[in-house]
Every structure is written in structure tokens, then in C-alpha cells.
Structure 1
Amino acid sequence: MALLISLATTDVESADAPKGKVVFSDDFDGTEAKPVQSIGDLKQWEFLDPKTWTWKNTEDAGGVIEITERSSEYKPPTRSPGHVALVKDLNVGNCEIRFRVRSTKDTGNHRDCCVFFGYQDASHFYYCHLGAKPDPHSGQIMIVNEAPRLALTKNEKLTPWDDQWHNVMVRRNIDTGLIEVFFDDMTTPHMSVTDKTFAAGRVGIGSFDDLNAFDAFTVSTF
């Protein structure tokens, strides 16, 4: 069993982010001595339906995790994403989540990936739905609060999916309630909202019902 996880707190700072501490990092490669060989090696992750996820080695990104099926055996209590991978044993408040993602199938207007944060349980959490064409159920920052997902934003920006890798960042301040989501442009938010319903919680990645590959997942706190 092997995985590359960094739990040491390392200073990070950039022109577009507050100074913080890296509390979790995974590039899904493992080490030369202990390479990742399957999704089962990733012990710091909880996959709510592990049958729909796989690990693979790619020429352009090394190890990645990938959603392989649009349907899922995981059935959430209320209508919300079916593909969810959460970091185990990590609850964060003020945080910044960064990763790379590649959409591997064009499914039209709701082609998406999702980022989860403030996750309390299957009925209480936030997520950002990076859908290709925004509407009340796509391309919005969402809340699940003992009811089907509800958009907190009225975003009108398209998410420009193609077959290439893209950079995503979510920055959350639980003191002010500000949630900002960035897509490729790390200086201007793709969408943002202020909400204080949930405090600290778990974080993760996935999709509503689409296919994606993920790499270079990092969480820092500030």
C-alpha cells in the first residue's frame, strides 16, 4: 500500500492567495519505493462509491484519480452529487483548496466537476458545481441542508470545458462567510457568495454525474 500524503504544515504564499499552512497534499503518485497501484492504496481518501473511481498512471500528469462511470450506487439522502471523494480526518475552516482537473467526456450543458467543503454529513454541506452552462442547477455554488441542493449564487459565466487540464481553487473564509471559486484565472473569482450556514468541515472533489480526472490536490489553512 502506498500514497503520497503531506500532513506537515508548510508555509505557502502567492500573489493571489493569503499566507497559509499546507495541511494536506496528494499528487496521487506515491514514491519510488511505494508507488500507488490502485484506488485502494489511497488510504487518506473516502470514496462514497469506490466502484466508480479508479487510479491510473498518465503520460502527461503521472498518477491521477478518475471517475469512470456516470451512474453511481451511492444514493444521497437528498438530490446532490453522486460521485464524492472526501479527505479523511481533516476538518478545516478558513481554507484554500487547489487541484487540477480534466473533463474526460463532453456531456453538454451540465458537463461538470464538483468541489466539496464545509461537509458535515451527507445532508449538510456546500459544494461548487462547475457546470459548463449555468442555470439554477448548474454552474453555481450550492448548499445541501436537509433538502435537495439549492443554488446560493446566480452565476452567468460559462465554465469553458475542453479536453485539457484546468486549475481550480476554492477559497473560504468562515469568519466573513465569503466563498470564492476560481477557474484557471487565479486572480478573478469565477463566482462568489457569502454564507455562514456551516462552519468548519471536510473537503473533497467529485462530480454530479460526469467523468473527470483529478491531480495535485492541496488544502491550506489561514
Structure 2
Amino acid sequence: MPDVGGVTVAADVMPLGRSLLIVFAYRDAAHFDYAHLSTDTGEAQPYHNGIFHVYGGERVRISPERGPAAFAAGNRWYHVTLTRDSATGAVRVSVDGKAIPALEAVDASLGAGKIGLGSFDETAQFKNVRISAEGL
């Protein structure tokens, strides 16, 4: 898939541990954004359940630090949608049709890039993945 700016990623996901990731605007290993969806609100682990920005250094949370966890529990299916608006840089994630305030942010510093699904230290299952990009 070519680099994309504005994009919607929709998938059925099952975290087999506590969390999973949706990477977007990936330019290289030092320049990308990602949504980290977790059973943790971000209080126990500050790098969980938020939108993060990597730009040549350590990751930085660019979404609110508090909010409900994306997932009530692991080992069950959820429908997740991530939408990124290329004109404004706004990113929003919903889980089972419900907006998650801790998973909303704006980052216009990165342009088009690759999309990825995965996890840092855990595993997850993904099915029914649909990627809709502006201009494709």
C-alpha cells in the first residue's frame, strides 16, 4: 500500500494480553504516530491507552492522560475504528462504536505514511481489517 495521509482503519481485534497498537503516519523507525489501546486507563502504565508521537526521540503522549480504558478485558473481540484527517491532523479512535476520549489527538507534524497493526510486548488477533485512504 502506498503512503497515506487521511485514513480510516477498521478491524475486529482481540487483545490476547492487555494491549495492541495501530501505527499510522509511519515514515521510518524514528518518525511515526500510534494508538495504544489497552485494558489499562494509562494510570498504572503511562504508555498505555493513548495516542503517541515519535519524532526522532522518545515517544510522547499527545492525547489526554486520563480516560476510560479502550478495552474492558482481554481475550474477547472488539470492533475498533481509527480515523485520521490529513487536513487537520485530528485522530480519533472508537471501540464498539463508542468514542474513547483518551484516544483523541491532533498531530499535523507528520504527513503521509504507512499503516501497521501489532503490539509491543504482547499478542493480539486482527480480522476483518479494512483500510480506506483518501485518494485511493
User: Are 1:118 and 2:25 matched, yes or no?
Assistant: yes
The runs of 4+ residues in structure 1 deviating greater than 4 Å are none
Aligned residue for 2:99, secondary structure, equals: coil
- Unaligned runs of at least 5 residues, structure 1: 1-88, 106-110
- Unaligned runs of at least 5 residues, structure 2: none
**Residue 54 of structure 2 corresponds to which residue in structure 1?**
144
- Separation in structure 1 between the aligned mates of residue 113 and residue 52 of structure 2, nearest angstrom: 15
Alignment counterpart, residue 89 of structure 2, candidates 174, 177, 189: 177
**Residue 205 of structure 1 corresponds to which residue in structure 2?**
117
Shift of 1:102: 0.9
What TM-score does the superposition give when structure 2 sets the normalisation length? 0.86
2:51 partner amino acid: I
RCO higher in 1 or 2 (8 Å CA, sep ≥ 6)?
2
| Aligned length in residues | 127
- Separation in structure 1 between the aligned mates of residue 41 and residue 112 of structure 2, nearest angstrom: 27
Structure that is richer in strand per residue = 2
- Separation in structure 2 between the aligned mates of residue 124 and residue 216 of structure 1, nearest angstrom: 28
In our comparison, the structure showing a higher alpha carbon Rg is: 1
**Residue 43 of structure 1 corresponds to which residue in structure 2?**
none
- Separation in structure 1 between the aligned mates of residue 39 and residue 84 of structure 2, nearest angstrom: 22
User: Are 1:92 and 2:11 matched, yes or no?
Assistant: no
RMSD of aligned alpha carbons:
1.3
- Separation in structure 2 between the aligned mates of residue 196 and residue 172 of structure 1, nearest angstrom: 10
What TM-score does the superposition give when structure 1 sets the normalisation length? 0.54
2:68 partner amino acid: K
2:108 partner amino acid: K
User: Are 1:101 and 2:13 matched, yes or no?
Assistant: yes
